[in-house]
Structure 1
Amino acid sequence: MSLPVLVALVVVGIALSVLAVHFTGGSKIATLAGVDQALSRFADDFPDEKVATVRLTADARTAFLDLGPARIGIVHSVGDCFLTRIVTPHDVLALDVDEAGAIALKLADFTWQGGRFAFADKADAKAVAAALGPHKPSLAKEAA
């Protein structure tokens, strides 16, 4: 078999594989249907935890669950699945709250380092930041 034919077959095979994954739901991004789904998903991994309050992000991809003094549970979508974490101020490398009602969170966990989370209500962002404080310098100060 000639090299150009082999290259063409490989390219077509890869393209068909990518399309098959996409059309069977492999590129779907999971979202939380509401507070009950966030509670249920968190309880799958942490059945003994008592949740006081659930705060969903505006895009419904992340939920922050108040677990008591200086402890927050997180349910976050990764692709079509969810990851769960319990975070304390000790786990936070940097935290910044902006005027738009979003927090930028950087975690010490190498498997998931956090991200930017926008809330519909600015009070939710402030409550999550307060639960994870005192914290290390903010991302804005770190960049300077």
Structure 2
Amino acid sequence: KKEPTVRRSFGMFLDGEWYELKARDSILASNSLSESVGSKLDASILQNFLLNPVLGIEDQRTSNRIDFIGGIRGTKELEKLVDSGKAAVAFSMYPVSIDDLMSISDAGEVMPPKSTWFEPKLRDGLLTHLI
């Protein structure tokens, strides 16, 4: 599947094919998931259990081995990057919910890098959440 339809599932584009990856219950129950709200997000699960240990991408913010595509550009853009050889593999994730975003904010945590994409784009400072 190109675009995951449920949380804790991921699309992976490799060698011209889409594959569906699902986080096993044992991963979700793992001691590797901290008590933080953010560690339960799909972006954190992908980073902690695939990007870092399998692909060696320790820090998404600084690694030149990873790039991000905004949600509006869609899976066709991911396919083009891999098919052109500019990327070896691409992943798609289920969208972060507003409830997850608010839970992270309420807990005083920070969202994982590039884990949110909202349309239409709001002007800076336009959206507020009561503390």
Q: Which has the higher strand share?
A: 1
Could you say which structure has the larger radius of gyration? 1
Considering fraction of residues, name the structure with more helix. 1
Q: Determine which structure has greater relative contact order: mean sequence separation of CA pairs < 8 Å that are 6+ residues apart, divided by chain length.
A: 2
Q: Same fold by TM (over 0.5)?
A: no
